[in-house]
């Protein structure tokens, strides 16, 4: 892989010319090497020819079978993704490289992130920091470590040092996903504070305020990938609005700025409790309903309820290729019911965060639903994840979120 193909992978002078940090080498197959040459950063275990002396989380040099050096990678002894490339050069000092990369990720976002004190600071592969996610919620940083290499003590120390340098007075909390630690064969670990003592704060996106508590919620706390879509939806939303899969109410509370009435539904009671506190914080009235969204959409459409704006933001239905068909059926049903309930001139904001459902496929599902509902849909916006969740063009897996906004008429 040449540095020109994936420029972000190139390292500064610190890494160059020296032996890879741990001095281990992995050899990969031609198929694996070709994948790297195409700009991807993963090597699957099936393409690993040998990695005899590589231990969990080590930095290894990667060679093809002819002995040509392809770059440096982080090794996982358990993941199907055996190697995650971190540099086209030998890496002599992994912690120093980490600090450089975190600094670069922070700098990348400075000109891009607007009107919010909550956004993603590092997005794993997309920032050449495989397995590291750090989200900022005002004065609390919430981090997730997803690979053996990022869990190393020296990596953790480097990370904390760099975050401290950039955000001096900020608490750093770690969110542990127990099943991921299990998959990575890492010892169990509790979620908790790595620095500071603050456990809750209030963050603000586009003037809308939200409670954040390090001990509550899904993911690192909020779905920051939707942030720019909240603002986009607000530009078209009007009248009576329905937010389906509302979580802690981010779409609903943005819609409440411009809509006459907002109803929002989720199956998670803890999420709705925070949503209700968020509504109070913003002095907005939203009707929160705890229900299975599929049942509610069925009942409401059968009862002839009508809305002017509907947001659909379900969880990822297709976790893998195998569940694709079921997922597409789920998307179709939701979109069909939503379209039936929209008044002429209505707005549909429909999202999919399943990587395995591509944008073209998702558009086709909505098109199919529009034919069944006998509605005319005009595509107002074709959107993706917020810019602080960058999509690396040669690593398609970094792009997963689709958010389509339609004008709907009879
Ligand atoms: N729109 C939200 C994010 C939604 S994430 C935001 O922007 O913040 C998906 C949500 O769907 C989660 O809150 C989860 O609790 C909820 N959920 C999952 N399955 C559900 C179901 N069958 N019915 C209703 N809600 C469901």
Convert 56-93 to b/e letters by CB count within 10 Å (16 or more is b).
Answer: bbbbbbbbbeeeeebbbbbbbeebebbbbbbbbbbbbb
Alpha carbon 118 to chain centroid, angstroms: 14
Residue 116 DSSP symbol = B
Dist. CA 240 → ligand 1 center (Å): 20
Report pLDDT for 262: 98
pLDDT at 219: 73
Entry pTM: 0.94
Could you tell me if the CB of 266 is within 6 A of ligand 1? yes
- Give yes or no for residue 293 CB within 6 A of ligand 1: yes
For residue 314, the ligand 1 atom closest to its alpha carbon is 9
268 lines ligand 1 (CB under 6 A): yes
Expressed in angstroms and rounded, the spacing between residue 313 Cα and the centre of ligand 1 is 7
Task: Share the mean pLDDT of the chain.
Answer: 93
Residue range 129-150: mean pLDDT, rounded: 97
Task: Read off the pLDDT of residues 211-266 as tens digits, 9 standing for 90 and up.
Answer: 999 988 777 789 999 999 999 999 999 999 999 999 999 999 999 999 999 999 99
Cα separation, 69 vs 4, in Å, equals 16
pLDDT digits (tens, 9 = 90+) for 353-376: 999 999 999 999 999 999 999 999
Residue 401 pLDDT > 90: yes
- Residue 6 is predicted with a pLDDT of 52
Of the chain, the percentage scoring pLDDT greater than 70 comes to 95
Max Cα-Cα span within the chain: 71
Asked whether 246 lines ligand 1 (CB < 6 A), one says: yes
Whether the predicted pLDDT of 9 surpasses 80: no
Q: What percent of the chain has pLDDT over 90?
A: 90
Query: Which residue out of 259, 351, 353, 403 is catalytically annotated?
Result: 353
Assign 21 a pLDDT band (cuts: 50, 70, 90).
Answer: low
Q: Number of C-alpha atoms within 13 angstroms, CB side, residue 145?
A: 27
What is the number of other CB atoms lying within 10 angstroms of the CB of residue 55? 12
pLDDT of residue 22: 66
315 has pLDDT over 90: yes
Query: Is residue 82 predicted with pLDDT exceeding 70?
Result: yes
- For residue 315 and ligand 1, the question of a CB distance below 6 A is answered with yes
Express each pLDDT in 165-180 by its tens digit: 999 878 999 999 999 9
Using a 6 Å cutoff on CB, does residue 267 contact ligand 1?
yes
Distance 393 CA to ligand 1 centre (A): 28
- Indicate if 353 belongs to the active site: yes
The residue contributing the CA closest to ligand 1 atom 18 is: 315
Cα–Cα separations (whole angstroms), residue 242 to 166, 183, 295: 40, 38, 15
Lowest mean pLDDT among 1-5, 254-258, 266-270: 1-5
């Amino acid at each position: 892989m040449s540095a020109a193909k994936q420029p972000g992978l190139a390292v500064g002078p610190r890494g160059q010319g020296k032996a890879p940090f741990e001095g281990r080498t992995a050899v990969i197959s031609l198929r694996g090497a070709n994948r790297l040459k195409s700009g991807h950063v993963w090597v699957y275990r099936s393409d690993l020819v040998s990695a005899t002396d590589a231990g969990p989380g080590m930095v290894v040099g990667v060679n093809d079978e002819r002995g040509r050096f392809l770059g440096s990678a982080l090794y996982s002894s358990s993941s199907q993704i055996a190697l995650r490339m971190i540099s086209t050069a030998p890496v002599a000092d992994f912690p120093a490289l980490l600090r450089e990369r975190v600094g670069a990720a922070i700098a990348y976002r400075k000109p891009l992130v607007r009107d919010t004190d909550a956004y993603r600071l590092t997005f794993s592969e997309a920032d050449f920091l495989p397995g590291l996610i750090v989200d900022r919620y005002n004065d609390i940083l919430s981090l997730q470590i997803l690979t053996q290499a990022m869990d190393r003590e020296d990596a953790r120390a480097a990370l904390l040092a760099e975050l401290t340098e950039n955000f001096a007075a900020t608490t750093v909390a770690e969110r542990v996903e127990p099943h991921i630690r299990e998959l990575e064969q890492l010892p169990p670990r509790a979620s908790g504070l790595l620095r500071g003592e603050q456990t809750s704060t209030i963050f603000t996106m586009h003037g809308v305020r939200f409670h954040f508590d390090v001990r509550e919620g899904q993911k690192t706390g909020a779905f920051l990938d939707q942030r720019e879509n909240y603002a986009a939806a607000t530009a078209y939303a009007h009248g009576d609005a329905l937010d389906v899969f509302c979580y802690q109410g981010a779409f609903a509370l943005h819609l409440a700025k411009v809509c006459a009435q907002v109803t929002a539904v989720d199956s998670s009671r803890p999420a709705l409790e925070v949503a209700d506190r968020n509504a109070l914080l913003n002095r907005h009235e939203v009707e929160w309903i705890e229900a299975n969204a599929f049942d509610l959409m069925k009942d409401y459409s059968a009862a002839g309820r009508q809305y002017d704006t509907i947001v659909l933001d379900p969880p990822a239905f297709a976790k893998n290729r195998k569940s694709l068909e079921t997922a597409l059926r789920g998307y179709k049903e939701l979109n069909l019911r939503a379209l039936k309930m929209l008044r002429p001139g209505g707005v549909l904001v429909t999202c999919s965060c399943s990587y395995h459902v591509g944008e073209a496929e998702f558009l086709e599902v909505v098109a199919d639903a529009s034919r069944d509902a006998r509605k005319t849909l005009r595509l107002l916006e074709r959107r993706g994840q917020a810019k602080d969740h960058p999509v690396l063009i040669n690593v398609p897996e970094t792009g997963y979120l689709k958010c389509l906004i339609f004008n709907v008429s009879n």
